[in-house]
Every structure is written in C-alpha cells, then in structure tokens.
A = this chain, B = another copy of it.
C-alpha cells in the first residue's frame, strides 16, 4: 500500500478572515472535513491536518475552533446529520401522508446514493459520540414515526407506529447500503424495491 497515493488535496489560497469573522473558518473546516470523508469513503479519511490543508489553513488553526481531533469528528458527524435531516424533511411536502412517506423515502435514498460516505457516517456509531449528536439522530427518526403514524391513522389501522417505522427504516437502510456494493448482475434497482417497501408494509394510500 503506497500511502502517497492518498488524496493530495488542493491547498486552497485563502485570505485571513476579518476581525470578528473568525467563526467562518469553523464552517469552512466542517465543509472540508465532509469533503474528505466523501472522497476517501471513510471516516478515517478525515484527518485534522487534511481538513486544515483543504481549508487553506495551517493545522494549528483548527485548534481555534475545536478542542482536538475528536471534537472535529463529532462536529462533522453532527453536520452530516443536519444535512441529512434537512434533505429528508424538505422533501416531505405533499399533504397526503402516504405520498409524504414516499417522498421522504425517495429523498432518503437520494441522499444515501449521492453522498454514500456521509450517509455511512450517520450509522457507523463506531466512535462514541456526544449525546448532542445522538439526539439529532433520534429527532430524525421521530420525523419518520410521525409520518408513519399519519399514514396508519388515515388508513384506520392500529399498528404501533414506532414498530412500523423501525420496519421501514431497517428495510430502506438495507436497500441503500447494499445498493452501494451490490454487483449489478442481480440488483433490481432501488425504485422497485422502494415500491415493495410501501406495499409489503401496507403503507399505500388506500390501505
């Protein structure tokens, strides 16, 4: 393994933030960190020096905004969660709950497909994260439970919305993670699979 083949990141030219605007570097570093994860495909691709270089700044400047590498990692994961929740939440616009659920499912799949590494980070769970980050994950799940509850209510069903939401989430999660590494040969595509998630779990409009 030749380590020199690792991502040689563009050292951005960058001018010092004006006084009082130091926080802008924090945002730049988070963007750089996410980009590193996306490019290397792994959370281990995120290094403090790498993020600094990509943001056009010396490694030391990172310590003005994050206590240490762990803090940078935690903030980056949280940033990914926020992006994810926004992407899924913004897609749910229809007034019919079943359609809304389908819209969320499609947005979910789109996010996971287009930003596979960022998506993987959400559920890696590997590095122990502060409660704050776990909390936003829970709130994203609560959004799903709420829509499922609406669908079940509209269909006059009394199944437990949390249990059904877990079913939806496990299945969709399985679909998108395997889609990333499935051999083309057998893979039927994510859309027919999503259709079946809705019908097999009894979440289509009519009931």
Contact = CB atoms under 8 A, between A and B. Distances in A.
Contacts of A41: 126
Copy number in the complex reads: 2
Contacts of A138: 183, 185
Interface stretch (A11-19, A49-57, A91-99, A162-170): A162-170
Nearest to A1: B69
A70 B173 contact: no
Nearest to A190: B170
Interface in A151-207: 162-163, 165-167, 169-175, 177-178, 180-181, 183, 185-188, 192-193, 196, 200-201
A171 B169 contact: no
A166 B186 contact: yes
5 contacts: A125-B180, A162-B186, A167-B193, A170-B171, A170-B178
Given A123-B177, A170-B178, A174-B177, 7 more contacts: A123-B181, A124-B181, A138-B185, A166-B187, A171-B174, A173-B174, A174-B175
